Amino acid sequence: MSDTSRGARQRLLALSTRERIEACWSTLGELPRHRCVRGPETGMAMLRGRMGGTGRAFHLGEMTLTRASVALDDGTLGHGWVRGRDHRHAELIALCDALAQHTEWQPRLERDVLAPLAEELTARQRRDAATAAATRVDFFTLVRGE
């Protein structure tokens, strides 16, 4: 994964499934203890669209959203947000955020969790693009006469 910023990590984890994060997470072994300092709690985000795709904003409707904040034993805070109502998913994102701030954990998190998830996300998006491309119309022109 080239972009290791907090925002890029949050995005990757929000676009991955909880099951896959959990599976990668379990390979980390013994982890620092943590407690939830906020949530996990489910609410909504009001989604905005733009008139004509580029113009003034309007409210399209809401979606469910879950957020969590955790604190590691040493007080390091981590936050996570994810579409939907999966508390564990939000908690795992917050845990990754907290762990990534530790120099000794960061490389292992990167190698065992984030890198495989990034690879899977890219593969999934490629697969979707390849499926869509198979339905692209190739026009051909019929020549009349000679």
Partner 1 sequence: MYVAVKGGEQAIANAHRWLADRRRGNRERAELEVEQIGDQLRLAVDRVMSEASLYDPELAALAFKQASGDLTEAVFLLRAYRTTLPRLAVSEPLDTANMRIERRISATYKDIPGGQILGPTYDYTHRLLDFLQLAGAEVPPAESRDDVTEAEPCPQILELLNDEGLVEQELDDGSEPADITRDPPDYPMDRAARLQMLARGDEGYLLALGYSTQRGYGRNHPFAGEIRLGQVEVEIHVDEWDETICVGEIALSECQLINQFGGSREAAPQFTRGYGLAFGHNERKTMAMALVDRALRAEELGEPIVGPAQQAEFVLAHADSVDASGFVSHLKLPHYVDFQSELDLLRRLRREHAQNTSFGQSESHGNPATEEETSARKSGQGKHDREGGVHGL
14: contact with partner 1 by CB under 8 A: yes
Nearer to partner 1, 30 or 144 (CB): 144
Rounded Cα gap, residues 134 and 57, in angstroms: 34
**Three-class SS of residue 100?**
coil
Rounded Cα gap, residues 99 and 74, in angstroms: 11
Rounded Cα gap, residues 43 and 27, in angstroms: 31
Nearer to partner 1, 74 or 128 (CB): 128
Give least dist CB 41 to partner 1, A: 8
Q: Which of 23, 64, 101, 107 binds partner 1 (CB under 8 A)?
A: 64
Q: Which of 100, 107, 104, 3 is nearest to 92 (CA)?
A: 100
17: contact with partner 1 by CB under 8 A: no
Q: Which of 2, 7, 33, 140 binds partner 1 (CB under 8 A)?
A: 7
**CB neighbour burial string for 41-59, b if at least 16 within 10 angstroms, e if fewer:** eeeeeeeeeeeeeeeeeee
Q: For 64, phi and psi rounded to 5 degrees?
A: -75, 145
- Residues contacting partner 1: total by CB under 8 A: 53
| Binding positions for partner 1, 97-116, rule CB under 8 A | none
Q: Which of 81, 95, 98, 117 binds partner 1 (CB under 8 A)?
A: 81
Question: Which residues lie near partner 1 (CB under 8 A)?
Answer: 6-7, 10-11, 14-15, 41-65, 67, 69, 79, 81-85, 125-137, 139
